[in-house]
Amino acid sequence: MFSKVGNDLYLSRGDTGVLSININSSYLMGENDRVLFTIKDGATPKIIRVLTPVANTAMVEFTNEMTKNLPVKDYRYDIRILLNAVLDEHGFPTDGTVINTHFKPALFRLLETVGDI
């Protein structure tokens, strides 16, 4: 089960889902710009996704592998925009300009899975 209530996200551990992030801006994001989606436990990142936006929209795909081994609990997620990103050989940013966004950190609640199919 995946759901979004306001800005809060709820996902059953090991389940799948897709979150669409729309960047409402007068700036049209370019081919070297990235959206950084991070789920943190306190200050410790647990999941980091570097997303390539298309027409100012980025998609986060939650896979089984992302959460199946994480403890069931409340985390926080954050969305940042990186302009002119320089990526390493693994696709993680090493340089670029981080801009402030209207996205505030919000709840990411990982729920226990009730049953398996």
SS (H, E, C) the chain: CEEEECCEEEEECCCCEEEEEECCCCCCCCCCCEEEEEEEECCEEEEEEEECCECCEEEEEECHHHHCCCCCCEEEEEEEEEEEEEECCCCCEEEEEEECCCCCCEEEEEECCCCCC
pLDDT value for 100: 66
pLDDT value for 42: 95
In the chain, the domains with their CATH numbers are 2-111 (2.60.40.10)
pLDDT value for 90: 85
pLDDT value for 95: 85
pLDDT value for 113: 86
pLDDT value for 69: 92
* pLDDT by 10-residue block (mean), the chain, 117 residues: 95 95 84 93 94 93 94 95 89 82 89 77
